[in-house]
A and B are shown apart, each in its own frame.
Chain A
Amino acid sequence: MLGFPDIWIFLGYILTPISTIICLIYGFVNWKKGIDEKDGDYREEIRWEREEIELIEKLP
């Protein structure tokens, strides 16, 4: 067990790279997913920008 006498330590040690691999798999499987936003996003962006512009205009 990589020189560890205690199984729990061995598990903790190998779980670190294993959990990284799980994250890699998750990220690459979902690499192209999640781009479709629901309706209304752009209206919100526009409102947001307008508010920001108004705020900047108030700045001294």
Chain B
Amino acid sequence: MLYLIVFTIVYLTIIIYLSYLGYKKTTTVSDYLLAGRQVNPIIMSLSYGSTYISTSAIIGFGGISALYGFSMSWLASLNIIIGVLIAFVVFGKRTRKMGKALDAHTFPELLGRRYNSRFIQGFSGFVILFFMPVYTAAILIGISRFIEVYLKVPFATALLVFLLINACYVIWGGLKGVLYTSAFQGIIMIVVMIIIGATTYMLAGGIVEGHKGLTSMTSYIPQDLLSGGHNGFTSFPRAGSPVWWSVITTMIMGVGIGVLGQPQLNVRFMTLKSDRELNRSIPFTAIYILFTTGIAFAVGALTNVIFYKSTGKLAIESVSGNVDKIIPLYIDMFYPQWFVAIFLVTLMSAAMSANSAQFLALGASLSRDIFEQALLKGKSVAETTIVTRIGIVFSIFATLILGLLMPEGIVAVATAFFFSLCGATFIPAYLFGLYSRRGTKTAAKASILCGFFSSLIWMFFFHENESRAIGICRFFFGQDSLVSHPFNVIDPQVIALPISFIIFVVVSYLTEPVGQDVIKRAFRHI
């Protein structure tokens, strides 16, 4: 406890100082939302990385790796290939240039101005405002589970206290505050994760021995998982089985691809001054992702060997089925107390940086996208920063309520839900908006609406993971899903993303392109 108090005080002092620094340097709206578009590449990488990889990746997906094993290493690879290389090179460069040409401050504003549509901006803002809290809550649950395990306090208390601490600095700091603090948080995260990775492999008996040890544990896997298609922690699940569909379409593809439509990440590209800064950010971000998710997923899988050696149980059995508790319990049981305290501070930092960026994106959605566009019909007013803060407060409350209501073992599922929803809703309109002059306003609207609603319908009535939790399908039809295997385990994004792509292309050919003046302005720097 003493360690925790000392580390937390040191950590919070630095965070408060950095937030104050951000607050002092925040004078304009673009400072508040885009950090003045002059961000250093290393700070950009660390803040992008720490927004992308949060407690949800470490606690939620670390726990999922303990359940499904090394199949999740594909997600780590996709996180780097798609989440860094493709996101920065294919999307990032043009997002930055177009964002600047169109004077866009938020991701919905970029889409709205590119297609000259207030509806697109308002609706995208609405999607973010009402659905991002699910992801925000998932991150918060991740850290609160750790506090619950470590400090033995009730989960609800942990959630409330942490949310209050987090709320304080994001409301005042703006993006500059968030950037400084997330860069600092990113550094702590890398160091701690390297230590955990190295020690876990040591405890498991080395790289090759650890993997072999894990392979030998296949026979201990619970029968329901084996019959669902689980082939062991070092083999891919049986092709076409429920576990295979879930691992491939929801965990690996849902999150791996969905990252491209994440508003709180895309807005980061607009903070950079030139493509040179963007190029320079790529290596640092990739290293960050490698050391965080790469290590977290490997550690997650290897916890099975270590738990079994000392308790005779697999990781999932040690936590009575709540995957979100696996990593917290592992750290708590096998590391010295001072290190557990450091890890907790690291997680707090990860959760704070991701949550704060989300709260900021949420606030901006309310003020610039919904308030200014939908309510004031495009008028810009001085109260924008105040409305942003109101939006942040609203989203904090929404997060608190969702955090208390969501069931156990939900972190990875809720994260995948939001990534998948954003992917299907935004990716086609965003990609064509950056590359095609032919894409039309009607096509963008149709694609966004179809992507969004087909995702939701699939989640409510077909994909059992969500439909069971939501319960609407059972209420109306008396069953959890209207379809049988394999459709009930196929992730919504796999269905909705192609639909929204096709809709965009077809409608674009049938309708008139956006006015030449808008196109000329949008592609001015490209």
Contact = CB atoms under 8 A, between A and B. Distances in A.
A21 to B, nearest CB: 9
Contact of A33 (B85, B236, B279, B380): B279
A56 B77 contact: no
Contacts of B285: 23
B332 interface: no
B84 A23 contact: yes
Q: Secondary structure of the B side of the interface? A: helix
Interface string B513-526: 00000000000110
Contacts of A8: 236
Interface in B273-294: 274-287, 289-290, 294
A16 to B, nearest CB: 5
Nearest to A52: B28
Interface stretch (B7-15, B206-214, B419-427, B428-436): B206-214
Nearest to B212: A3
A16 B89 CA distance: 18
Given A3-B212, A4-B211, A19 B80 contact: yes
Nearest to B82: A19
Contact of A56 (B27, B85, B215, B280): B27
A15 B275 CA distance: 26
Contacts of A13: 70, 73, 298
A4 B282 contact: no
A17 B282 contact: no
B30 interface: yes
Interface in A1-46: 2-6, 8-9, 12-13, 15-17, 19-20, 22-24, 26-28, 30-35, 37-38, 40-41, 44
A16 B81 CA distance: 9
B117 interface: no
B236 A6 contact: yes
Interface of A: 2-6, 8-9, 12-13, 15-17, 19-20, 22-24, 26-28, 30-35, 37-38, 40-41, 44, 48, 52, 55-56, 58-60
Given A4-B211, A13-B70, 19 more contacts: A2-B211, A3-B212, A4-B70, A5-B235, A6-B235, A12-B74, A12-B76, A12-B77, A15-B73, A15-B74, A15-B81, A16-B76, A22-B85, A24-B287, A32-B276, A34-B93, A40-B524, A52-B29, A55-B29
29 contacts: A2-B207, A3-B212, A3-B215, A5-B234, A6-B235, A9-B69, A12-B71, A12-B73, A12-B74, A15-B73, A15-B74, A16-B294, A19-B80, A19-B85, A23-B283, A23-B286, A26-B85, A26-B89, A27-B282, A27-B283, A27-B286, A30-B279, A33-B276, A33-B279, A34-B275, A34-B278, A41-B525, A55-B29, A58-B382
